[in-house]
Every structure is written in C-alpha cells, then in structure tokens.
Amino acid sequence: MQASLIIGREQEKARLDKIMSSPQPEFLALYGRRRVGKTYLIRQHLKDSIVFDISGSKEGSKSRQISNFFDEYLVRTQARLETKMPVEWHECFKYLAHYLAQLPPTDKKHVVFLDEMPWLDTPRSGFVSALEFFWNQHLSRMDQVVLIACGSASSWIRKNLINARGGLYNRVTQRIKLMPFNLHETELFLQSMGLQLPKYQILELYMAMGGIPFYLKEIEKGKSVPQLIDEICFSRQGLLSEEYGQLYYSLFRNAKLHIAIIEALAKRPQGLTRTEIAQATKMNESHLTRTLEELEECDFICRYPPFLNLKKEGIFKLTDLYSLFFLKFIQPNQGTAKQVWEQLSKTPSYITWSAYAFENICLQHVDQIKAALGISGVFTQQSSWKFKGNDVLPGAQVDMVIDRADQIIHLCEAKFTKDHYAITQEYADKLRLRKSIFKQATKTKKAIFTTLLTTYPAIKNKYYLEDVDSEISMERLFAF
C-alpha cells in the first residue's frame, strides 16, 4: 500500500473533516476493536495537523507513561519550554496546555492525539482527573484545538469519557466507532495491494480473519487461498497463529473471563442466552454483566433480541470471525505438518464452520441485504427467533429475521456452497415447515417471505420456485 492511502472509511473521513472545520474546540472519542486501523486513520488523514502525539504502553508503569509523554513534549517544543521531568499527570497536562497556548494561530485546527488512552490510565495514577481538569480549564477555551482520545478497550472509553459521570460528564463532543472492513472495503484493500481475487476467494479469507486491515495485509500476491491460510494461520511464524491470546490480554485486565465466554460461544455457534452463558462459565452476575458488555463493545460478540417478545432473553453469538476460526481449526492443529488447511477444508467440520461463518457475515451485512431487497428506506428490526416446540408444533429456529415496518417479514436462510446450490425436496419441505411454524407460533398477521442468502445463485428448479420468495447472492454482499 502507498503510505498515504486510506482505503474505505469514507464516512469517518468526512466526520473528521467536519470536526476539523468546526469553530469550537472538539473532544473526539475514537474507539474500536484492536487492529482495526484507528491509529492509522488519524495519523494519515490528519498528519499535517497533529501537534502532539503520544501512545500508551501496555502494562507500562505510571512513571514510564509520563516519561514517554515528556519525551514527546520535548521533541515538539524542541526543549524550549519546560525541561523538568513531571511526576504527576496534572503537571504533564499543564505543560501541554502551555505548549498549545503558544502555538502560532493558523487557519486549521491543532490536533492532540492521545492513542491507547486506556493504557495511560494505570491504577491510582490520577490520569482521568488530570485529563478532566485539562479539558475543562484549558482546551474547552481553545477553539483551534481538537483532542482525540483513542483506544481499543472500548468499554474504558465509554465508561470514562462518553458516559462519564464526573467532571467529564457530557464533555465528549464527537465520537467515532471504527468498525472492521466490510466485504466491499476488504476488496478495495486487497486491490490496493495489487491483489485481484475473485469474490469467492475474498469471502473465504474474510471468513477466517474478518475485515481486520492488520490481518489482511499479510495476504501475498500469487498464492492460493489454502496457501495463504496455511502460512498466516497455521505456520509457527504466521501472524494469526499466536494472535488469539494477545488479542484479549491486550484489551482486558481480567481476560480469562472474556476468553471463557468466547470459548463457550464458540462451542455453540447458534448462540447462547445469558442464562446459558452463566451456566457454562460459572461466572457470577456482576462479572458476567461487565464481561458481556466489554466483549459487545469491542465487537467480539453481538446480542440479537428475540422476535416480538421482549420478556425473553436475547441470543449472544460469537461474531469475531478470527476467534471462531482460531478455536475451531488453528488451536487444535498448531504445530502440524504443512498444507493443513487443504486437508481441513475437506472435512465435515469445515462444512459446519463455513455455514456459521457465512451466516455471521450475512448478519454483519444487513445494510447490503436490505439494499438488495430494495428496502433501504424501510424501517426494519433484525432479530433471532427460537421456538422450543409444544404439544401442537415442533421446535424451530431462525437466526436472522428481518421485520419490516411495511408488514412483511423475511426469514433468512444462509447457504454457503462452492457452486450453484440446488434445492432438494427435503430442503424445500424444511423451509415450508419452518415458515408454517413461525406463522402459527408468533401469530403474526404480516406476510412472510423466505429469503435465501447464497454464495452463487441457486438453481431455479421447481422446489426453488415454489418455496423461495427472494434470493441474495454473494455479489450483492460486496456492494458499497
């Protein structure tokens, strides 16, 4: 990639441009999953405006963090202002305020970028109170300054900044949650590296590593998908062979709890209720609540509300594609011979995993699905539905329900295949029965459509024509 090139992120860049043209001081909270490209976005898009840039060090002591801060301060001021090492954060921010106040006026804003802010906030360091005073006393009066607080620990950002109850209450003026690349952005990213891959192959790679730019940059030109997955995920030198543990321990101070939930959900890709997660992990209520919130904030899991019944528990699903792939394939096969993926992709486990991974991708591309259905302007609610069955009706489950305000419901069925799928009579009977159970169990008066989500368009045989109302193939998921 060219050093100055930012792929995708059009909405985020537009937001940043608007912030930079604001007539008032701005406090931006930027957060999102580790490795998603937050730092790159700021340092590239705003590189000509950054006047102070410091990143927290994982597990660094208070004195180490302050020392790093002061080193940056000396570089930016060329040692012409304060030269005595500060020992408290209040002193650090006092120095920074002095530096900002003496900067010559320009026609553009000055950016103060505090990256990995949760790591700067070491225990009992007084960092948050010092930041609070810095903003309230100094930056809130500097119309030419933008303060950007960035971090991968999204729950820390939300608790201490966005939802703060003390002196920082309602002080954050802007917020951006940076999401992983969707399929369209992933395709653009790979093209920027000179890779022209068919959409099916991009989908295969996406299923293993998700839309994480830091992972995708490991893909090399001239290699097949099995070769790439073998090298990146299964070889001892592969980036993703050891990423799993680092991923959670770098974000959470008690990562064992988070990993316990992730691994419980990985065993049940269809999802678990909160009660079922508590039973599987033996976690107490307070730990469970906090850990679920933190995982959801960082986009590792997602809670899908139950259809039409708010009293029932929602379903939590593991939506981080890399974590699911690691636990299913990488962890059990570490240190094995070469060409691992070529062999694993022929097993029944691959078929099961690929179905859930593709379903996850569809859930993450609801906007593209709505556009393909021609209902982008219609209010919808996405949910899951599970019926245990009773004396009259058998049990049934729909993992993706799109409930439209215009009196239509789509029951979505994801089908990942390497070729055009042919619906059999048995499968058609299953679709028809599920629709009937849904209608009777929910007592809905809305029209119910069966929507097929496929890789390649299904063969339009008589069973397809009788039981499928609409279909969205892989190509439409790659739409902008």
The helix/strand/coil state of 205 is: helix
Mean pLDDT value across residues 341-358: 93
Cβ(158)–Cβ(172) below 8 Å? no
- Report the relative pairing of strands 315-318 and 301-304 from DSSP bridges: antiparallel
Residue 100 CA: distances (Å) to CA of 43, 65, 78, 146, 165? 19, 20, 14, 11, 27
Mean pLDDT value across residues 152-173: 88
* Per-residue pLDDT at 1: 33
Q: Dig out the tokens for 251 from the structure.
A: 């974000």
CA dist 150 and 156 (Å) reads 10
Confidence of residue 295 (pLDDT cuts 50, 70, 90): very high
Predicted confidence (pLDDT) at residue 3 exceeds the cutoff of 80: no
In percent, how much of the chain has pLDDT > 90?
Answer: 85
Cβ(295)–Cβ(261) below 8 Å? yes
* Per-residue pLDDT at 310: 56
Per residue in 180-222, pLDDT tens? Answer: 999 999 999 999 999 999 999 999 999 999 999 999 999 999 9
Residue 126 CA: distances (Å) to CA of 43, 88, 256, 361? 27, 8, 27, 42
Per residue in 12-53, pLDDT tens? Answer: 999 999 999 999 999 999 999 899 999 999 999 999 999 999
Residue (of 175, 169, 165, 153) closest to 291 by Cα position: 153
Q: Which residues pair with 306 in a beta bridge?
A: 384
* Per-residue pLDDT at 318: 96
The helix/strand/coil state of 450 is: strand
Per residue in 51-60, pLDDT tens? Answer: 999 999 998 9
The CB density around residue 325, as the number of other CB atoms within 10 Å, is 22
The helix/strand/coil state of 136 is: helix
Predicted confidence (pLDDT) at residue 466 exceeds the cutoff of 70: yes
Cβ(226)–Cβ(341) below 8 Å? yes
Q: What is the pTM of this model?
A: 0.91
